[in-house]
């Protein structure tokens, strides 16, 4: 292990070597002595220039850079412009070092170490940012991941970042079991669906739900359109025309909350308990006994 052989006092070069290992660099400057020798030569050292070019080539697509390092020590003027331009585009904080590179008068090898440490750190940060963006994009496009995030948030569990599905589901199962044990007896009824389904039956069930959701969406769109037309009709009278803005302020927030898409999915079926089957019609005899009154009685008049 190279890190065991490095001196504790090596400081900056030790950080650079660790970063290069993590970034996957396998060139000749992974040894501390070789790195220090190349740094002493600065832009006149082919190994140092190659390392800067290796870092720049990987930073370019991640940071959408315009600058790149294509020149070598044999074209010092172009090389100085490219390196200083790259550091400026990356907003390098070492302004004095950038100016010295452009003038070709870098006084110390420590300044070249600063450049390498800055470039390697920027590359690490860019790779981390790309990984997080890819993870978020994957979650946004994957409904299963979205559901897992919601479940973990509801159960006060840590967000499943990079964890395997089996581990996340195991944590959720343990948490739910713990919560159920703390509830009074009878709090959770028996499920409606008691039979285990095979993969073919789950597929049929999913297709049935998709068809029903499509029909429900059509009906909901029609009802929402009827609602819009009805509310618009309220503003047709001369007295109501002066109240159109006030009506809109009240109606629009509630209207935007209405969605035509159905939210019923297979998860709702799995969560349904037996008490969902206890549906009593509002027009049934037992219900009418408690709701009957003089206003809603229907009188039969003789012909």
Q: Decide if pLDDT at 207 tops 70.
A: yes
Q: What is the dihedral of CA 158, 159, 164, 167, to 10 degrees?
A: 30
Summarised one tens digit per residue, pLDDT across range 50-73 is 999 999 999 988 888 888 898 888
pLDDT at 119: 93
Three-class secondary structure of residue 261 per DSSP: coil
Q: What is the mean pLDDT of residues 246-275?
A: 85
* Cα separation, 127 vs 229, whole angstroms: 53
Residue 273's beta-bridge partner residues? Answer: 191
From residue 203, alpha-carbon distances to 143, 199, 207, 217, 221 in Å are: 17, 6, 6, 21, 27
Instruction: Say whether 234 sits in a helix, a strand or coil.
Output: coil
211 has a pLDDT exceeding 90: yes
- Place 216 in a pLDDT band, splitting at 50, 70 and 90: very high
The pLDDT value given to residue 138: 58
DSSP label of 267:
H
Q: Is the pLDDT of residue 303 over 60?
A: no
Q: What is the mean pLDDT of the chain?
A: 82
**Domain chopping of the chain, boundaries:** 2-139, 143-182, 199-291
Predicted confidence at residue 212, as pLDDT, reads: 92
Span of 12-16, 215-219, 223-227 with lowest mean pLDDT? 12-16
Could you tell me if 19 and 120 are in contact, meaning their C-beta atoms sit under 8 angstroms apart?
yes
Q: In this model, does residue 161 exceed pLDDT 90?
A: no
pLDDT in tens, 101-150: 888 777 678 888 889 999 999 999 998 888 877 766 655 556 777 778 78
Whole-angstrom CA distances from 128 to 25, 46, 139, 145 are 17, 29, 17, 20
DSSP H or E run through 240: helix 238-241
Whole-prediction pTM value? 0.46
């Amino acid at each position: 292990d190279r890190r065991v052989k490095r001196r504790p006092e090596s400081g900056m070069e030790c950080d650079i070597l660790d970063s290069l290992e993590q970034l996957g660099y396998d060139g000749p400057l992974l040894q501390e002595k070789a790195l220090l020798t190349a740094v002493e030569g600065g832009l006149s050292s082919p190994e140092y220039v190659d390392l800067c070019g290796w870092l720049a080539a990987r930073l370019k697509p991640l940071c959408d850079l315009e600058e790149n390092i294509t020149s070598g020590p044999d074209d010092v003027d172009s090389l100085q412009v490219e390196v200083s331009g790259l550091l400026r585009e990356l907003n390098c904080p070492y302004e004095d070092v950038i100016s010295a590179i452009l003038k070709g008068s870098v006084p110390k090898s420590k300044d070249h170490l600063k450049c390498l440490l800055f470039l390697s750190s920027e590359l690490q940060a860019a790779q981390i940012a790309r990984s997080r963006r890819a993870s978020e994009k994957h979650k946004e496009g994957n409904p299963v991941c979205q559901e897992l995030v919601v479940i973990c948030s509801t159960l006060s569990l840590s967000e499943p970042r990079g964890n395997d599905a089996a581990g996340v589901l195991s944590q959720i199962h343990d948490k739910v079991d713990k919560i159920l044990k703390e509830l009074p007896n009878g709090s959770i009824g028996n499920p409606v669906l008691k039979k285990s389904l095979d993969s073919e039956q789950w597929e049929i069930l999913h297709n049935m739900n998709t068809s029903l959701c499509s029909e429900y969406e059509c009906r909901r769109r029609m009802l929402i359109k009827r609602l819009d037309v009805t509310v618009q009709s309220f503003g047709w009278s001369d007295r109501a025309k002066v109240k159109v803005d006030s009506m809109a302020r009240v109606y629009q927030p509630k209207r935007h909350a209405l969605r035509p898409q159905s939210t019923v999915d297979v998860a709702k079926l799995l969560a349904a308990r037996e008490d969902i089957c206890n549906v009593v019609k509002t027009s049934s005899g037992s219900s009418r006994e408690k709701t009957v009154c003089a206003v809603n009685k229907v009188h039969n008049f003789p012909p």
